[in-house]
Amino acid sequence: MKKILSIIIISIITINFNFSQLSKAEKFAKTITEKDLKKHLTIYASDEFEGRDTGEEGQKKAVNYIRDYYKSIKVEAGDPDGDYFQPMSLTLRSRRGKGKAVDTENVIAIIKGSEKPEEYVVITAHLDHVGIQKDTGEIFNGADDDGSGTVALLEIAEAFKKAVKKGQGPKRSIVFLHVTGEEKGLLGSKYYTDNDPIYPLENTVVNLNVDMIGRIDPTREAKNRDYIYLIGSDHDSQDLHDISEQTNKETLNMTLDYRFNDKDDPNRFYYRSDHYNFAKNGIPIIFYFTGTHEDYHKITDTVDKIEFDLLEMRTKLIFYTAWNIANRDERIVVDSKPDSNAHSVEEIKSFEGVYGSNAFPMQFKLFEKEGKLGMVWIGRSDDEAQILKELEKNKFSMPAAGLELNFLTDETNYETKTVSDKGVSIKVDKTIIKKMIFKMGGNEILFTMIPPTPSTEEEEEEEEEPKIN
Ligand SMILES: [Zn+2]
């Protein structure tokens, strides 16, 4: 007797892969204002701070200003001594090659995470600038470089602190790291990463570095002023790039311009600010920047030239991005390095099959696609398959969906007994059943490979045109 297979029409359940946590963030972002940014920067980039040259008196005024602000909003010190300072002695070389030892410090504050305090989102800006012109006594105020990034951090800290007060503090810890000696060769950030990472680098999920976000690049048209240059977001983590893009789309919707993103870009901006010291340690980074201008490293980089409405928008974007990274269930996934963990095509093919679970309403298929492992929900066409990232042996992920597939190594042999049309002859197939732990949104579900149903080509044809009896 022939069986006519009934076709089950699966209504496709669209799983909501929304990894955004933004709905709660908006009211705290409102505390980031043009007015506050201007208030801080007018002081921070004033002549009183004498150009904030590393180790000089003006720089001491700068670190005190930053520390006093964190104290005033009750954001706690991030250093072990609890005085907000990470002191160091740097040897600065003059143009003549003479070495001069100076005492200087980074400033560090922290808002501890409510659920994953041991994972850190580190936001950086450099607190120093280039000081005073020796012969003329003219002061380099460095309002854009990097007064703009400095005051952005202060406002982001205030916004997160407000969230804490409302019981909606970040799940991961946020570290506010103001580094010294940037203008002397990224020395303060290098000291932090190479000599004394106060928070373990392996638990540092991202570095968001802010250096010069207060102006408009003269190469851009005035009508297209709401932009920001992003550098590095996709260098080490497609996941970070995706979350950054998604966050912008859902909030400010500014132009994210990647013109300087390439590591080989002739300007070499990727190597020229403090994120580099994190990136060289394999930590995903984003460098926020709005370009150089005619006042770059000149005494004319002053507060009156700052576009405060844009500084506010850009600061909010960085806040929202940090918010999403800090509050998402999964930590930012670092891309595997080429070839380091790659599976052979044979290994990829060994994972092929349909997988299901008693604990999940949908099944999906894995198959080899362009030498990689492709995944598609059953009911969708193979063309829609997503290529999974290889994390390590037997471990894959789909970062945009916050999914991780971890194949278990103990395989189960499976024997199918096939009864043929001609009576009782029994055929035995041996299939290896794969099992995997499927992680999504903090849940772990056991999936197993569903053994292929033995079927002939004829039966498949009947499936397409079922006879009505
Ligand atoms: Zn700078």
Cα–Cα–Cα angle for 370, 371, 372, nearest 5°? Answer: 90
pLDDT (tens digit per residue) in 385-429: 888 988 888 889 888 788 889 998 776 666 655 566 665 555 555
User: Is it the case that residue 26 has pLDDT exceeding 90?
Assistant: yes
- Output the CA 126–ligand 1 centroid distance in Å: 7
Calpha distance 320→446 (Å, rounded): 34
Calpha distance 206→240 (Å, rounded): 8
pLDDT (tens digit per residue) in 128-180: 999 999 899 999 999 999 999 999 999 999 999 999 999 999 999 999 999 99
- Output the CA 7–ligand 1 centroid distance in Å: 64
The candidate with the shortest Cα–Cα distance to 26, out of 166, 208, 125, is: 166
Lowest mean pLDDT among 22-26, 66-70, 78-82, 186-190: 22-26
- Output the CA 138–ligand 1 centroid distance in Å: 19
- Say which DSSP state 53 is in: B
Mean pLDDT of 254-258: 96
Residue 376 pairs in a beta bridge with 365
Which pTM does this prediction carry?
0.71
Q: Are 203 and 119 in contact (CB under 8 A)?
A: yes
Report, at the CATH architecture level, how domain 345-464 is classified: Beta Barrel (2.40)
pLDDT, residue 23, reads 85
- Output the CA 456–ligand 1 centroid distance in Å: 68
pLDDT-derived band at 454 (thresholds 50, 70, 90) equals low
- Output the CA 309–ligand 1 centroid distance in Å: 20
Phi then psi dihedrals of residue 96, to 5 deg: -80, 0
- Output the CA 219–ligand 1 centroid distance in Å: 19
What type of residue sits at position 338? P
Ranked by mean pLDDT, which of 337-346, 371-380, 394-403 comes out on top?
Answer: 371-380
- Output the CA 356–ligand 1 centroid distance in Å: 52
Q: H-helix or E-strand containing 43?
A: helix 34-44
pLDDT, residue 223, reads 74
Cα–Cα–Cα angle for 435, 437, 438, nearest 5°? Answer: 120
- Output the CA 187–ligand 1 centroid distance in Å: 12
Q: Are 467 and 459 in contact (CB under 8 A)?
A: no
Query: How does the average pLDDT of the chain come out, rounded?
Result: 88
pLDDT, residue 451, reads 78
- Output the CA 185–ligand 1 centroid distance in Å: 10
pLDDT-derived band at 338 (thresholds 50, 70, 90) equals low
- Output the CA 263–ligand 1 centroid distance in Å: 18
Q: Are 373 and 355 in contact (CB under 8 A)?
A: no
SS3 314: helix
Calpha distance 418→322 (Å, rounded): 56
User: Quick one: CA dihedral 56, 301, 269, 108, positive or negative?
Assistant: positive
SS3 342: coil
State the virtual CA torsion across 397, 118, 231, 267 in degrees, nearest 10: -130
- Output the CA 141–ligand 1 centroid distance in Å: 12
- Output the CA 188–ligand 1 centroid distance in Å: 12
* Tokens describing residue 361: 């309403």
* Tokens describing residue 14: 């669209």
Calpha distance 186→179 (Å, rounded): 8
User: Is it the case that residue 13 has pLDDT exceeding 50?
Assistant: no
Burial label for 298, CB within 10 Å (0-12, 13-18, 19+), is middle
- Output the CA 449–ligand 1 centroid distance in Å: 54
What type of residue sits at position 228? I
Distance between first and last Cα of the chain: 13
State the virtual CA torsion across 326, 330, 336, 342 in degrees, nearest 10: 180
- Output the CA 402–ligand 1 centroid distance in Å: 34
pLDDT (tens digit per residue) in 282-322: 999 999 999 999 999 999 999 999 999 999 999 999 999 99
Domain spans in the chain, listed from the N-terminal domain onward = 22-327, 345-464
State the virtual CA torsion across 21, 123, 198, 165 in degrees, nearest 10: -50
CATH topology of domain 22-327: Aminopeptidase (3.40.630)
User: Is it the case that residue 461 has pLDDT exceeding 90?
Assistant: no
- Output the CA 267–ligand 1 centroid distance in Å: 14
- Output the CA 87–ligand 1 centroid distance in Å: 20
The candidate with the shortest Cα–Cα distance to 400, out of 409, 387, 410, 419, is: 387
- Proportion of the chain above pLDDT 70, given as a percent: 86
- Output the CA 288–ligand 1 centroid distance in Å: 11
Task: Give, in order, the Cα–Cα distances in Å from 345 to each of 349, 351, 355, 371, 383.
Answer: 6, 10, 19, 6, 19
Calpha distance 95→439 (Å, rounded): 55
State the virtual CA torsion across 202, 205, 206, 207 in degrees, nearest 10: -50
Q: Counting runs of H as helices and runs of E as strands, what totals does the chain give?
A: 10, 20
Calpha distance 45→421 (Å, rounded): 88
- 436-463: buried (b, 16+ CB within 10 Å) or exposed (e) per residue? bebbbeeeeeebbbeeeeeeeeeeeeee
- Output the CA 147–ligand 1 centroid distance in Å: 9
* Tokens describing residue 201: 């680098």
